[in-house]
Structure 1
Amino acid sequence: MPARHFDRTVVRAVRRAAEIPQAGVGAAVSAAESTVAGWEAGSSVPDQEKLPGIARVLGKPLDELFPREGSPDLTDLRCDAGLYRYEVAKFIDTKSDGPVAAAESGVRRLKPKYVPKLAAAYGVSEKALEQAQERSFGNVVEEAEAEEHPRALGEKISFLLEHSYPAGAVPGDGEIAEAVNQHAGSEVVTATEVEALRTGAGDADGPDPVVLEGLAEFFGVERMYFEPDEAVARQVYQGIRVLLASRSGTIGRVRARGLGPEGLSPEVLSLLTDLQAEFEKQVGPIDDK
């Protein structure tokens, strides 16, 4: 796959605009100041593994600062995670990086037990890792088949970032965190924590509700968008039960969380009526007992 494009003039301009010295960039990616000067002068280019760190210290999204044509293979995913190959052995609990090296070279596929571990280390889904592996073996993965409905919170955030903004205008983690904190009226999340949510490395229990509310406001979507699919399904089912119970006069038997004394709004009733009609069309009348 094509490597990410490093444009020294763009990097230099962004660094100067951010008033970050070359030494600051070097310190962030374990490189000497003279090495960074060489990158900007065009006498050398940084390793692909260092590009994520450079983008991070300059406060720019990786895809914006260092674009790449086409979809990633296994080597690309590793580099996008800022990892050298010798560093991945610890993630798959092996003595060497041999299994990863063989897969990246298209010689031998990863053992199934390595897939979830590497996917977590790279901050991608298992399916994305498997598709990247196919590209490493020279197999074409149709993008229409590769795209799937985002399910995890990180996938949903990434989907919005990829599909809601033009090239060069994708907001960074710091900008998102600032907007969420403004919504909350206090600091409830940092740029680092937003990055963790976006890459799937966040707390297993998920962020506080106020963070999700702030994300929903920032992206202009309903708060429910960030709920797990099964949770959304439960809410819809609960709503249908409330509607049926209200029709039959048994509303007291239904536990309707968050339902105020005014009952359901006309808009919600209309939506639930449509859902019920569609459901009954598919499986027959619902008997709520």
Structure 2
Amino acid sequence: MPARRFDRSLVRSVRRAAEISQSDVASALGAADSTVAGWELGSSVPDQEKLPALAQVLGRPVDALFPRDGLPDLTDLRCDAGLYRYELAAVIGTKSDGPVAGAEQGVRRLKDKYLPLLATAYGITLDEVKRAQERSMARDHGEEGGGESADATDARKTPRTLAEKLTFLLEKSFPGPEGPPGDAEIAAVVNAHAGGSVITDGGIRDLRMGVSETATPLVLEGLADFLGVTPLYFQPDDQVAAQVYEGLQLLAAHREGKVGQVRARGAGRQGLPPNLLALVSDLVDEMQHKTGERK
């Protein structure tokens, strides 16, 4: 589970800056004063289920105060809602929390009728619960497989979806205690880049959480500019591979003395996008100038 990171020194400094006593924190969380003191001393750490409430008491966003690596699985969603697993039996109407425990551990999927109930309890969408369930299943299947190679592990960690790529870039670009900017700030930057309103803060959140799997070119360009990458980074792997293949075709055609024909037909079966075709045309002119090839 990509559990949230608890930094006792950060918590202590934030609490002191806000002039909140350990006793006030303990009272708000229903914990003993000695428990909160232990968290700040490093002799213990709070349950993951306590972190959202602790962040609220300290007046900080939970993602900024207690960042998490990667996208949430089912356990993460429950903890982010501040719920212990035993409390979910009443939520889904069962005698025990067994169904939830099995899904969180990647043993078996939840029945479809339970998913909307969890979405409501967690305050998120049904799609977010479904995606988190798939992460729980995929994660634990990988652990049970055993003997996984380093290459396979690296491949499993490589961001594939738009949500995973956004999460990866935000975490790597803003590693400090303040964490990445909020959805509203990101939306404002993207809209400024586009010169108009092209996305809302809710739209950014949907992209981060995987609710929306794609975005308009203007949004992707704004995100790429903000995060310092090429827009190509956000394209699906198969599309990137296709464009690389087209580039290899161009190089092969040049070696065979047929580079002029590439400009005429647009390289691939479906042709290149206009911006890439313009680049191809420029490359053709340069290659022809260097080699003296005539049209």
CA contact (8 A) 2:189 2:222 kept: yes
Deviates more, 1:250-259 or 1:119-128: 119-128
Query: What does the per-residue CA deviation read over 1:1-23, in whole Å, with 9 as the maximum and x for residues that have no partner?
Result: 88864866556568x59xxxxxx
- Residues in 1 aligned to 2:91 and 2:237: alpha-carbon distance in whole angstroms: 33
**Which residue is equivalent to 1:252?**
264
**Which residue is equivalent to 2:180?**
171
**Which residue is equivalent to 1:221?**
229
**Which has the greater radius of gyration?**
2
Give the aligned residue type for 2:158: H
- Residues in 2 aligned to 1:125 and 1:153: alpha-carbon distance in whole angstroms: 18
**Which residue is equivalent to 2:107?**
109
Report the Cα offset of residue 165 of structure 1: 3.2
**Which residue is equivalent to 1:212?**
220
Gaps of 5+ in 1: 18-33, 271-289
Superposition map of 1:79-228 within 5 A: 79-80=79-80, 85=85, 97-102=97-102, 104=104, 109-111=107-109, 120-121=128-129, 124=132, 126-127=134-135, 129-131=137-139, 145=153, 147-174=156-183, 175-202=185-212, 204=213, 206-228=214-236
CA contact (8 A) 1:5 1:68 kept: no
| Bigger helix fraction | 2
Secondary structure in 2 matching 1:249:
helix
Report the Cα offset of residue 209 of structure 1: 1.3
- Residues in 2 aligned to 1:269 and 1:127: alpha-carbon distance in whole angstroms: 48
Report the Cα offset of residue 36 of structure 1: 9.0
Normalised by the size of structure 1, how large is the TM-score? 0.58
Give the aligned residue type for 1:256: L
Give the aligned residue type for 1:215: L
Aligned length, in residue pairs: 243
Report the Cα offset of residue 128 of structure 1: 5.5
CA contact (8 A) 1:72 1:132 kept: no
CA contact (8 A) 1:150 1:156 kept: yes
Give the aligned residue type for 1:253: R
Give the aligned residue type for 2:191: N
Query: What does the per-residue CA deviation read over 1:91-134, in whole Å, with 9 as the maximum and x for residues that have no partner?
Result: 9x999742222455x6x8224988xx799417548356542588
Change over 3 Å in CA distance of 1:168–1:3 after alignment to 2: closer
- Residues in 1 aligned to 2:177 and 2:196: alpha-carbon distance in whole angstroms: 29
CA contact (8 A) 1:12 1:40 kept: no
Secondary structure in 1 matching 2:202:
helix
Please provide the CA RMSD for this pair: 5.1
Q: Identity of paired residues, percent?
A: 39
Query: What does the per-residue CA deviation read over 1:176-232, in whole Å, with 9 as the maximum and x for residues that have no partner?
Result: 222212212233223332222112122x4x222111111101110000000000111
Change over 3 Å in CA distance of 1:67–1:185 after alignment to 2: closer
- Residues in 2 aligned to 1:79 and 1:224: alpha-carbon distance in whole angstroms: 35
Secondary structure in 1 matching 2:223:
helix
